[in-house]
Chain A
Amino acid sequence: MPKKDILVLQDLLLSNAQAAAAIRAELEGRGILAVNLMSSPGAGKTSLLERIAERTAGGLKIAVIEGDIETERDAERIRAKGVPAWQITTGGACHLEAKMVGRVLPSVPPETEILFIENVGNLVCPAGYDLGERLRIVLLSAPEGDDKPKKYPQAFATAQTLVLTKADLFPHLPFDPAKAKAEALELNPKLEVFITSAVTGEGLDELVAHLRRKREEILGRA
């Protein structure tokens, strides 16, 4: 039987990379900043989005894609704030892929300024998948511990923004925000770091201002 070597040299995630590039081009053409939110389950992604929705009501136009393994719960929480939201249930998959996001894009209203994509709660796999976002935000909550950045380096190394959440719990836990920040900055010296609390409202104005600046950069590019 003749044997043949076939040289391929193809990225195994090529189809995801192509879908992500198409999403980025479409959204930026429409003047929409796409934000990929990543964290462990329960770090406060949905609560943070609820607070952002309250603070930007009547001003900034936001929309949210929610990724979870099961249930519509998170999308319902966002819709209750008057913000358009779509739930993607992955049925077991541990991360969102660009094609899943692409299917939602036709529903995103034209006036949208920021599209948040809340990834499946997981600090590992989502980091390997480009969803076509311009801004990747990783959240680390106080109860998780300040030693997490180096344990899950890819998530912190590929993000541009870090949000330390649940600041209202700092006094009650052995969590040192300065240590968490220093560890993350060692991995990724360009990270911009914010500290927030969805309970007291600490840091939310600064984070919203940061998001507005990032959105303006998109307009400058288009």
Chain B
Amino acid sequence: MHELSVIASLFDTLLAQAKAHKARAITMVKLEVGALSGVVPELLESAFEIYKKGTIAEKADLVIDRRPFEVRCRACRAVETRSDFILACPSCGSTDLEIVHGTELVLQKIEAETE
């Protein structure tokens, strides 16, 4: 439910990047969104559509790269993609896990029209 504040924070970065690269318009914005990031991609898309009006990104498309939740077991080194959030290794039961993917909420790249 806090997708609008995430998008507000995204636009701070977009405007700074546009200025630094002397962009006239931003045409594409690509995000990485993990399954465990706590945000819903569809709501990010809605918030982006609302927020972009009247900005340098008015005509930009939002592309979301969804990253699954993936853990690596420090005991048996197995890497598993999980559909739930259970923090125990399905192979050996160890609880010493490292999250490989799934918490991402990253601005990966921007495509812009320049002078």
Contact = CB atoms under 8 A, between A and B. Distances in A.
A182 B102 CA distance: 24
A147 to B, nearest CB: 14
Contacts, number: 98
A127 B38 contact: yes
A189 B111 contact: no
B113 to A, nearest CB: 4
For the complex, would chain A's binding face be called helix, strand, loop or mixed by DSSP majority? Answer: mixed
For chain A, which range describes its interface: under 10, 10 to 19, 20 to 34, or 35 or more residues? 20 to 34
A15 interface: yes
Interface of B: 1-2, 5-6, 9-10, 12-13, 17, 21, 23-24, 27, 31, 36-39, 84-88, 95, 105-115
A9 B9 contact: no
Contacts of A4: 21, 23, 111-114
A157 interface: yes
A94 B84 contact: no
For the complex, would chain B's binding face be called helix, strand, loop or mixed by DSSP majority? Answer: mixed
Given A12-B31, A128-B2, A2 B113 contact: yes
Given A3-B111, A7-B108, A128-B2, A153 B84 contact: yes
B107 A12 contact: yes
A93 interface: yes
B51 to A, nearest CB: 13
Interface string A1-19: 1111111111111011000
